Chain A
Amino acid sequence: MTASLGSAVLALVFLTLVFAAVAAVAGRDGEERWLLASRRAVYGACALLTLCVVLIEIAFLGDDFSFKIVQQHSSIETPTFYKLAAMWSSQEGSLLLWAWVLSIASSLALYSTRNRLREIVPYATAVMAGVASFFTGLMLFAGGVNPFATQSPAPADGIGLNPLLQHPSMMVHPPMLYSGYVAFTIPFAFAIGALATRRLDAAWIRATRRFALIAWALLGFGLLLGARWSYTELGWGGYWAWDPVENAALMPWLIGTAFLHSIMVQEKRGMLKAWNACLIVATFSLALLGTFLVRSGVLQSIHAFGDSTVGPYILGLIGVVVLGSTALIVSRLDDLRSEKRIDSLASREAVFIVNNLLLVALCATIFWGTFFPLISEFFTGEKSSLAAPWFDRYTTPLAILLVLFTGIGPLLAWRRVSWATARRVFFVPALSAAAVGVVLALFTDAAHKPWALALFVFAAFALVGLAQEFWRGASARRTLSGGSMPAALVAVVSRNRRRYGGYIVHAGVAVLLIGIAASSSFQTKRDVILRPGQSAVVDGREVTYVKPTAKVDKLAFTAGAVLKVQQGSAGGDEFTLYPTRRFYRPTGGQGGGIANYFAGESDSEIGLKAGPGSDFWSALSPDISSVQAHARAADQGFRRCIAGGPGVPPQCRAVGALMRAALANPSLRPTALAKIEQLQLDTAKQIATGYVSEASPATFRIIVNPLVTWMWIGGLIALAGAAIALWPARRPPRRVAADPELEALKEAKYREIRDAELDHAAGKLSDEDFALLDAELRKEAIAILDRGNGATANGHAKTPERPAEPV
Chain B
Amino acid sequence: MDPQRKRKIRLVVALGVAVFLAAALVYTSFSASSEAKEPSQLIGAAPGTSYDLTGEVVRGSVRRDGDSLHFRVVDRDGRGESLPVAYSGTVPDPFRGGREIVLTGEVDHGVFVGEPDTLVTKCPSKFTTSNDS
The distance in angstroms between the C-alpha atoms of A162 and B91, with both chains bound, is: 18
Chain B residues within an 8 Å CB radius of A385: 33-34, 36, 52
A278 at the interface (CB under 8 A from B): no
Chain B residues within an 8 Å CB radius of A72: 126
* Chain A residue at minimal CB-CB distance from B34: A384
Chain B residues within an 8 Å CB radius of A625: 63-64
A306 at the interface (CB under 8 A from B): yes
Chain B residues within an 8 Å CB radius of A602: 93, 96
| A304 with B123: CB separation less than 8 A | yes
| B90 with A529: CB separation less than 8 A | no
Of A258-266, A387-395, A540-548, A725-733, the one touching chain B:
A387-395
B111 at the interface (CB under 8 A from A): no
B2 at the interface (CB under 8 A from A): no
| A235 with B93: CB separation less than 8 A | yes
Chain B residues within an 8 Å CB radius of A598: 133
| B66 with A162: CB separation less than 8 A | no
* Chain A residue at minimal CB-CB distance from B30: A376
| A300 with B54: CB separation less than 8 A | yes
The distance in angstroms between the C-alpha atoms of A90 and B127, with both chains bound, is: 11
Tally of chain B residues near chain A (CB < 8 A): 45
- A721-742: which residues lie under 8 A (CB-CB) from chain B? none
| A372 with B133: CB separation less than 8 A | no
Known: A385-B33, A390-B33. A162 touches B127 (CB 8 A): yes
| A699 with B67: CB separation less than 8 A | yes
A600 at the interface (CB under 8 A from B): yes
* Size band of the interface chain A makes with B: 35 or more
The distance in angstroms between the C-alpha atoms of A387 and B103, with both chains bound, is: 11
Report which of A164, A304, A382, A387 forms a contact with B93, defined as CB distance below 8 A: A164
Chain B residues within an 8 Å CB radius of A304: 100, 122-125
The distance in angstroms between the C-alpha atoms of A529 and B88, with both chains bound, is: 11
The distance in angstroms between the C-alpha atoms of A131 and B61, with both chains bound, is: 47
The distance in angstroms between the C-alpha atoms of A9 and B25, with both chains bound, is: 50
B21 at the interface (CB under 8 A from A): yes
* Chain A residue at minimal CB-CB distance from B14: A357
| B130 with A599: CB separation less than 8 A | yes
| A623 with B125: CB separation less than 8 A | no
- B34-75: which residues lie under 8 A (CB-CB) from chain A? 34-36, 52, 54, 63-64, 66-67
| B120 with A73: CB separation less than 8 A | no
| A302 with B122: CB separation less than 8 A | yes
| B93 with A603: CB separation less than 8 A | yes
| A386 with B29: CB separation less than 8 A | yes
Q: How far is the CB of B89 from chain A (nearest CB, A)?
A: 5
The distance in angstroms between the C-alpha atoms of A623 and B66, with both chains bound, is: 9
B102 at the interface (CB under 8 A from A): yes
| B125 with A165: CB separation less than 8 A | yes
B104 at the interface (CB under 8 A from A): yes
The distance in angstroms between the C-alpha atoms of A701 and B119, with both chains bound, is: 15
* Chain B residue at minimal CB-CB distance from A390: B32
A621 at the interface (CB under 8 A from B): yes
| A596 with B125: CB separation less than 8 A | no
Q: How far is the CB of A711 from chain B (nearest CB, A)?
A: 20
* Chain B residue at minimal CB-CB distance from A163: B127
| B133 with A593: CB separation less than 8 A | yes
Known: A89-B126, A235-B90, A302-B123. A386 touches B25 (CB 8 A): no
Of A361-369, A556-564, A640-648, A793-801, the one touching chain B:
A361-369
Chain A residues within an 8 Å CB radius of B118: 387
Q: How far is the CB of B36 from chain A (nearest CB, A)?
A: 4
| B129 with A586: CB separation less than 8 A | yes
Chain B residues within an 8 Å CB radius of A73: 126-127
Q: How far is the CB of B101 from chain A (nearest CB, A)?
A: 10
The distance in angstroms between the C-alpha atoms of A529 and B33, with both chains bound, is: 32
Q: How far is the CB of A203 from chain B (nearest CB, A)?
A: 29
Report which of A302, A372, A619 forms a contact with B121, defined as CB distance below 8 A: A302
| A595 with B133: CB separation less than 8 A | yes
A325 at the interface (CB under 8 A from B): no
Chain A residues within an 8 Å CB radius of B34: 384-385, 387
The distance in angstroms between the C-alpha atoms of A235 and B117, with both chains bound, is: 12
| B129 with A159: CB separation less than 8 A | yes
- A73-97: which residues lie under 8 A (CB-CB) from chain B? 73, 89-90
The distance in angstroms between the C-alpha atoms of A586 and B98, with both chains bound, is: 14
Chain B residues within an 8 Å CB radius of A333: none
- A574-612: which residues lie under 8 A (CB-CB) from chain B? 586-587, 592-593, 595-596, 598-604
* Chain B residue at minimal CB-CB distance from A91: B125
A161 at the interface (CB under 8 A from B): yes
Q: How far is the CB of B28 from chain A (nearest CB, A)?
A: 7
A236 at the interface (CB under 8 A from B): yes
Chain B residues within an 8 Å CB radius of A163: 127
Q: How far is the CB of A243 from chain B (nearest CB, A)?
A: 8
B16 at the interface (CB under 8 A from A): no
A305 at the interface (CB under 8 A from B): yes
Interface string of A145-173 (1 = CB under 8 A from B): 00000000000000111111100000000
Q: How far is the CB of A580 from chain B (nearest CB, A)?
A: 12
The distance in angstroms between the C-alpha atoms of A384 and B130, with both chains bound, is: 31
Chain A residues within an 8 Å CB radius of B90: 235-236, 527, 619, 621, 699, 701
Q: How far is the CB of B88 from chain A (nearest CB, A)?
A: 8
The distance in angstroms between the C-alpha atoms of A603 and B93, with both chains bound, is: 5
Chain A residues within an 8 Å CB radius of B126: 72-73, 89-90, 159, 162, 305-306
* Chain B residue at minimal CB-CB distance from A165: B125
| A586 with B67: CB separation less than 8 A | no
Q: How far is the CB of B9 from chain A (nearest CB, A)?
A: 14
Known: A601-B127, A602-B96. A372 touches B104 (CB 8 A): no
Chain A residues within an 8 Å CB radius of B88: 527
* Chain A residue at minimal CB-CB distance from B88: A527
The distance in angstroms between the C-alpha atoms of A621 and B91, with both chains bound, is: 8
Chain B residues within an 8 Å CB radius of A361: 18, 21
* Chain A residue at minimal CB-CB distance from B133: A599
B92 at the interface (CB under 8 A from A): yes
B80 at the interface (CB under 8 A from A): no
Q: How far is the CB of A588 from chain B (nearest CB, A)?
A: 9
| B104 with A596: CB separation less than 8 A | no
| B123 with A300: CB separation less than 8 A | no
| B129 with A368: CB separation less than 8 A | no
* Chain B residue at minimal CB-CB distance from A166: B127
Chain B residues within an 8 Å CB radius of A380: 30
| A301 with B122: CB separation less than 8 A | yes
Known: A302-B122, A304-B100. A527 touches B33 (CB 8 A): no
The distance in angstroms between the C-alpha atoms of A527 and B90, with both chains bound, is: 7
B77 at the interface (CB under 8 A from A): no
Known: A586-B130, A599-B130. A302 touches B125 (CB 8 A): no
Q: How far is the CB of A621 from chain B (nearest CB, A)?
A: 5
Chain B residues within an 8 Å CB radius of A161: 127
| A159 with B30: CB separation less than 8 A | no
Q: How far is the CB of A2 from chain B (nearest CB, A)?
A: 23
| B33 with A384: CB separation less than 8 A | yes
B94 at the interface (CB under 8 A from A): yes
A373 at the interface (CB under 8 A from B): yes
- A264-316: which residues lie under 8 A (CB-CB) from chain B? 300-306
Q: List 8 A-B contacts (CB under 8 A).
A: A159-B127, A235-B92, A236-B90, A376-B30, A386-B29, A390-B29, A699-B67, A699-B89
* A90-B125, A586-B130, A599-B130 given; 13 more Cβ-contact pairs under 8 Å: A235-B90, A236-B90, A300-B54, A300-B102, A303-B123, A304-B125, A368-B29, A384-B34, A385-B34, A387-B34, A387-B104, A621-B90, A701-B90
Residue ranges of B at the interface with A (Cβ–Cβ < 8 Å): 18, 21-22, 25-26, 28-30, 32-36, 52, 54, 63-64, 66-67, 88-94, 96, 100, 102, 104, 116, 118, 120-130, 132-133
Residue ranges of A at the interface with B (Cβ–Cβ < 8 Å): 72-73, 89-90, 159-165, 233-236, 241, 243, 300-306, 361, 364-365, 368-369, 372-373, 376, 380, 382-387, 389-390, 393-394, 527, 529, 586-587, 592-593, 595-596, 598-604, 619, 621, 623, 625, 699, 701
Nearest 8 Cβ contacts at the A-B interface: A384-B33, A162-B127, A599-B133, A304-B122, A383-B36, A586-B129, A305-B125, A235-B93
